């Protein structure tokens, strides 16, 4: 169960379940529950906000996923073939929204990910559209009662970037007779500022269905799903649930949006891999994306190693005090700082966890309010 987490600014996935069949066991994760999570600003180095591989008979519902850099929700076999696809899962009442020109597809199912149900979701793609499938992943697909939109080019679905479908063309394939299409500005109170509550009169109100036992009876905030008396009922169930993760509350005041600040400088850690054995080459680089102006910041880089923490550049252990370096980041899209030069991994038998963290703050400060980068993290292991 993965419930009520806030996952943001991860260079890879926000939530990831990989069954890893190559590691032994049956290679399958079953009966997982992923619900009521909020995920944003993930995937700057790739990876969907919710990334699933060989996940079966599981529920993904009531998640708020917005402003991510790569995919929204992805299910596949992690390159192990169609025998390891994500099968017989349900995706209900998720809100997945990208900014125009950003991100991949809202829900992507590939590599033999069959017999899935996608209902009551709001899926608004930025660079991509709402839905992406490989041709071997549409067997047994149920996809209806969704709001589908593609901001960039009007396409709401694709067969793996080969064939593209408008909303009407997608419905013409037999999917989405009860689905709708609408721009985010029509659906939400203030969507560009991260406020994704449904606005009065939103076409997503009472447009879902409760005709499945796993449809949630409450929304992301714990409010009950209910029939709004001001809206016509276009639902296929009896509860007239709204689409998306947040149920409209008639009579509640429209909330004032709280903008989520964008990092001034985006950073990603690169080690050349995440699993090493003796003789491999390893390094620690920090890749900085700074498109606006030159920035001077206090850079903190921390190595987590066998339960201890060491601070760059002196590699002082935490018990001896923290350390940092004043660093100038030029205006450059992929400025690379070499934290640890390339070296050959020696034989190592210690216990983890192992990881590297990095963040930049305004000069002379160490407070979240002065943080000018995202918090970057990468984990690694030895074999």
Residues 30 and 114 in one domain: yes
Which of 380, 381, 374 shows the shortest CA–CA distance to 43? 374
pLDDT category at 258 given cuts 50, 70, 90 is very low
- The SS3 of residue 96 is strand
Do residues 13 and 42 touch, judged by C-beta distance below 8 A? yes
Query: How much is the pLDDT for 325?
Result: 93
> What six digits make up the tokens of 24?
């032994």
Residues 139 and 287 in one domain: no
Which of 56, 151, 52 shows the shortest CA–CA distance to 104? 151
Angstrom distance (rounded) from CA 229 to CA 326: 59
What is the chain's mean pLDDT, rounded? 88
Q: Which domain holds residue 40?
A: 2-198
Query: How much is the pLDDT for 255?
Result: 45
Kindly report, residue by residue over 289-307, the tens digit of the pLDDT. 887 788 899 999 998 876 6
Residues 39 and 185 in one domain: yes
Contacts with 162 (C-beta within 8 Å, 6 or more apart), sequence order: none
Domain count, the chain: 2
Which of 295, 302, 288 shows the shortest CA–CA distance to 377? 302
pTM above 0.75, yes or no: no
Angstrom distance (rounded) from CA 253 to CA 9: 30
Alpha carbon 252 to its chain's center: 29
Residue 72 in this model has a pLDDT that exceeds 80:
yes
Residues 26 and 122 in one domain: yes
Query: How much is the pLDDT for 152?
Result: 77
Angstrom distance (rounded) from CA 89 to CA 75: 10
CATH number at residue 270: 2.60.40
Query: How much is the pLDDT for 60?
Result: 97
Kindly report, residue by residue over 345-369, the tens digit of the pLDDT. 877 656 556 788 899 988 988 876 7
Residues 31 and 128 in one domain: yes
- Half-sphere exposure (Cβ direction) of 246: Cα atoms closer than 13 Å: 22
Chosen domain end from 145, 178, 198: 198
Chosen domain end from 174, 198, 222: 198
Do residues 37 and 7 touch, judged by C-beta distance below 8 A? yes
Residues in the chain: 383
Query: How much is the pLDDT for 366?
Result: 80
Residues 296 and 162 in one domain: no
* Within a domain: 79: yes
Chosen domain end from 145, 165, 198: 198
Residues 173 and 312 in one domain: no
Position with higher pLDDT, 195 vs 110: 110
* Within a domain: 181: yes
* Within a domain: 87: yes
* Within a domain: 238: no
Query: How much is the pLDDT for 330?
Result: 92
* Within a domain: 245: no
Kindly report, residue by residue over 73-109, the tens digit of the pLDDT. 999 999 999 999 999 999 999 999 999 889 999 999 9
Query: Highest mean pLDDT: which of 137-151, 308-322, 332-346?
Result: 137-151
């Amino acid at each position: 169960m993965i419930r009520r987490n806030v996952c943001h600014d991860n260079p890879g996935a926000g939530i990831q379940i990989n069954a890893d069949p190559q590691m032994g066991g049956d290679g399958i994760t079953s009966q997982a529950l992923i619900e009521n999570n909020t995920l944003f600003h993930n995937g700057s180095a790739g990876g969907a906000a919710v990334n699933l591989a060989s996940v079966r008979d599981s529920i993904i519902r009531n998640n708020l996923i917005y402003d991510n850099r790569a995919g929204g929700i992805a299910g596949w076999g992690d390159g192990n073939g169609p025998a390891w696809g994500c099968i017989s899962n349900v995706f209900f009442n998720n809100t997945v929204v990208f900014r125009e020109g950003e991100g991949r597809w809202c829900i992507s199912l590939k590599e033999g990910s069959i017999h899935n149900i996608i209902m009551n979701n709001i899926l608004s793609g930025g660079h991509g559209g709402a839905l992406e499938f490989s041709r071997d992943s549409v067997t047994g697909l149920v996809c209806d009662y969704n709001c589908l939109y593609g901001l960039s080019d009007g396409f709401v679905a694709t067969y793996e970037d080969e064939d593209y479908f408008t909303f009407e063309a997608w419905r013409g394939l037999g999917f989405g007779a009860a689905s709708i299409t609408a721009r985010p500005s029509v659906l939400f109170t203030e969507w560009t500022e991260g406020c994704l509550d449904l606005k009065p009169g939103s076409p997503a109100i009472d447009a879902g269905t409760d005709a499945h036992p796993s449809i949630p009876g409450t929304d992301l905030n714990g409010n009950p799903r209910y029939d709004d008396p001001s809206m016509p009922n276009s639902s296929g169930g009896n509860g007239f649930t709204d689409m998306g993760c947040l149920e409209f509350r008639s009579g509640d005041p429209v909330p004032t949006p709280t903008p989520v600040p964008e990092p001034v400088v985006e950073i990603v850690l690169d080690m050349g891999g995440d699993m090493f054995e003796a003789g491999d080459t390893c390094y620690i680089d920090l890749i900085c994306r700074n498109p606006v102006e030159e920035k001077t910041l206090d850079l903190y880089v921390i190595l987590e190693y066998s339960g201890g923490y060491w601070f760059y550049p002196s590699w002082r252990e935490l018990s001896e005090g923290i350390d940092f370096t004043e660093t100038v980041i030029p205006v450059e899209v992929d400025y690379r700082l070499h934290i640890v030069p390339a070296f050959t991994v020696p034989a190592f038998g210690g216990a983890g966890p192992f990881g590297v963290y990095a963040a930049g703050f305004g000069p002379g400060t160490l407070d979240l309010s002065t943080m000018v980068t995202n918090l970057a993290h990468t984990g690694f292991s030895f074999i």
